Structure 1
Amino acid sequence: MDAVAEFRSFNRFYTNEIGLLDKHLLASNFSLAEARVLYELAQGGKQTAAAIGRTLKMDKAHLSRIVARFEARGIVNVSTSPEHGRQRLISLSAAGRAAFSALDKGSQEQIAAMLLPLDDVAQNQLVASMRQIRKLIGRDDADPERVSFRSLRPGDCGWIIHRQTVLYHTEYGWDWTYEGLVADILSRFIANYDPVREDGWVAEYDGDVVGSVFLMQTAVPSVAKLRLLYVEPSARGLGIGRQLVGRCIERARQLGYDRLQLWTNDVLVSARRIYQAAGFELVGEEKHYSFGKDLVGQTWELALKP
């Protein structure tokens, strides 16, 4: 696959679909650049041309000409900043707000018409793909407020098996025998699930699954296991792993367990730091050959009761 060619092909497709090459956007009197400036003023309120330029990454001269045209048409008001006498503040006039409202409505109707032939499943796939594009090319700043946690749903375990296998193969070179292990663990979890002894959580970012963890019973009634913690690389640094582990610990306490155990490998450094910070103590380790690699397995334990 030629990534550059595919990227350019998609750009051509997208610009054709939404009419970005038309001289005026949505049969209005505004070009695409002018419509973006209108949008920033409508959303951000009174601001300087420099602030708009930074947001839109627009050439200063091009932006200056747009503002001049807007001012001549009565679309914006330009005033001197009371705090900085050399700064000019730009804001939408009543005519500007009316123009933006008509343009915004037209855009909403255009996109709604494009989505109309798609059912709910297809629309969800489209939105998820758009979010992924924004994340992958770095245009989406991570925000902890957009993280949410929920209980397990049908389809989650299959997705978790897939993502953990792909992730650990990419980051550590583990082979598909790891997929067999995770599939076996989760198939037995599903077949023997006991809601008064076990639980599981999924972390989402803007509706996309970005992590998970499971609380599972063991053969010893007083001991539970924390299993299969993972966080997507795109969502790391938001405290998701810490919160997933915290939920697992709290639930184990609620269910009356005395101890919580986990097994991991020493190469999973970030996960081990989370366990240590939560109070887990290393109680044993041994070398083993698994998943196509020489590894050091570790058992960690947390006392849940004084």
Structure 2
Amino acid sequence: MPNHQTARPDQPVHEMRAFNRFYTNLVGALDYGRHLHTPYTLTESRVLYELAHSPRTDAADLRSELSLDAGYLSRMLGKFEKDGLVSRAPSQQDARRQHITLTAHGRETADLLDERTRESVGSLLSTIPAADRPRLAEAMRTVQEVLSAGRPPRGEDVLLREPGPGDLGWIVQRNAALYTAEYGWNTDYEGLVARIVADFAEDHDPHLERVWIAELDGRPVGCVMCVRDEAPGTARLRLLLVEPDARGLGIGDRLVGACIDFARGVGYREMVLWTNDVLKSARSIYQRHGFVLVSEKPHRSFGADLIGQDWRLPLQGGPR
């Protein structure tokens, strides 16, 4: 007797198409511009997002990463250039390639689109009972893992974003846990990090100070802070961290680069940082970005004998 419950061979195709129809309608993908009150389509917004967050911004990389037709992308970039969102120039590495850079107006537009998208998703999630949200998140991670067929993570999979609820606490917890595991530091270091984070949370100028969280596959894997120093016109880089299982993807470089670009963009004259000589990987990143060692001094902190180092990076222009 035949089993009528046996799925048809094409059943997964029907189920995936049904899910796609359901999800695109749910998030307003078919009328994205009106959904988020923006003149840009979903594809245009995605390109702006990549330009704002991806370390690879050559036109050829964008075309490959997003599987876009070359002519379509070229027309889109032309529209962005006309709107004052991007500038185009030959790549310094290969004159045959075109490097795309967001203008200040373009970055503001990308940030606005990102903010509206987060608000839209937050509004959607607010309708879901709190007890169901972990199950939903796990289901989405499962979809990603299955469809990526075990592909290892790439640098371009990493998102740099502003901190959300719980992220500042994550910075304290992960700094304490990692530095204890890797260097044997005691809870004095956790106390220092907690004070730095608390000071930022309680009183910071969002125009002059910022935190970045590096996110991979929906989880935080790195962070850095840019805060005002006591010296006028000086920014201080603090709390650079990358999770061990996410190292090798260029995350530290991107976090430091984002910090420097922000500091330069808002008019700081220089950026400084304090670190310890045992943090060799971080020091290599700082050197690659042009920081110069200006002084060092032995000290006893966090239960260890260390050599503290002060580094400095001049920034173009003066304060605004």
TM exceeding 0.5: yes
Q: Compute the displacement of 1:150 (Å).
A: 0.8
Give me the TM-score of the superposition, normalised by structure 2.
0.57
Distance 1:216 1:117 in 2: 37
Q: Give the residue type in structure 2 aligned to 1:126.
A: E
Q: Compute the displacement of 1:127 (Å).
A: 5.0
Distance 2:188 2:222 in 1: 21
1:152 is the counterpart of 2:163:
yes
1:101 is the counterpart of 2:30:
no
Secondary structure of 1:184 counterpart: helix
Secondary structure of 2:10 counterpart: helix
Q: 1:287 is matched with which residue?
A: 298
Contact 2:242–2:251 (CA under 8 A) maintained in structure 1: yes
Q: 1:126 is matched with which residue?
A: 138
Distance 1:118 1:255 in 2: 39
Distance 2:223 2:265 in 1: 19
Distance 2:140 2:153 in 1: 16
Q: Give the residue type in structure 2 aligned to 1:145.
A: E
Q: Compute the displacement of 1:206 (Å).
A: 1.5
Q: 1:218 is matched with which residue?
A: 229
Matches within 5 A, 1:36-115: 99-103=8-12
1:164 is the counterpart of 2:142:
no
Q: Which has the larger radius of gyration?
A: 1
Distance 1:294 1:130 in 2: 45
Q: Compute the displacement of 1:27 (Å).
A: 5.1
Among 201, 206, 217, the residue aligned to 1:195: 206
Consecutive aligned runs of 4 or more in structure 1 exceeding 3 Å deviation: 26-29, 103-109, 116-120, 124-131
Q: Can you list the C-alpha shifts for 1:109-135, whole angstroms capped at 9, x where unaligned?
A: 9xxxxxx9984422256359869x99x
Distance 2:184 2:225 in 1: 24
Q: 1:9 is matched with which residue?
A: none
Q: Compute the displacement of 1:270 (Å).
A: 0.8
Contact 2:207–2:266 (CA under 8 A) maintained in structure 1: yes
Matches within 5 A, 1:225-304: 225-304=236-315
Contact 1:28–1:103 (CA under 8 A) maintained in structure 2: no
Q: Can you list the C-alpha shifts for 1:35-94, whole angstroms capped at 9, x where unaligned?
A: xxxxxxxxxxxxxxxxxxxxxxxxxxxxxxxxxxxxxxxxxxxxxxxxxxxxxxxxxxxx
Distance 2:279 2:258 in 1: 20
Q: Give the residue type in structure 2 aligned to 1:247.
A: A
Q: Could you list the runs of 5+ residues in structure 1 that have no partner in the other structure?
A: 1-23, 30-98, 110-115
Q: Give the residue type in structure 1 aligned to 2:6.
A: S
Q: Compute the displacement of 1:141 (Å).
A: 1.0
Q: 1:28 is matched with which residue?
A: 6
Distance 1:230 1:264 in 2: 12
Contact 1:266–1:298 (CA under 8 A) maintained in structure 2: yes
Distance 1:198 1:106 in 2: 47
Contact 2:226–2:236 (CA under 8 A) maintained in structure 1: yes
Secondary structure of 2:316 counterpart: coil
Distance 1:163 1:262 in 2: 20
Q: Compute the displacement of 1:108 (Å).
A: 11
Distance 1:233 1:100 in 2: 42
Question: Percent of counterpart pairs with the same letter?
Answer: 45
Contact 1:242–1:274 (CA under 8 A) maintained in structure 2: yes
C-alpha change, 1:127 and 1:299, in structure 2 (3 Å) is farther
Aligned Cα root-mean-square deviation (Å): 3.3
Q: Could you list the runs of 5+ residues in structure 2 that have no partner in the other structure?
A: 19-127
C-alpha change, 1:148 and 1:117, in structure 2 (3 Å) is closer
Q: Compute the displacement of 1:236 (Å).
A: 0.8
1:204 is the counterpart of 2:201:
no
Q: Give the residue type in structure 1 aligned to 2:283.
A: R
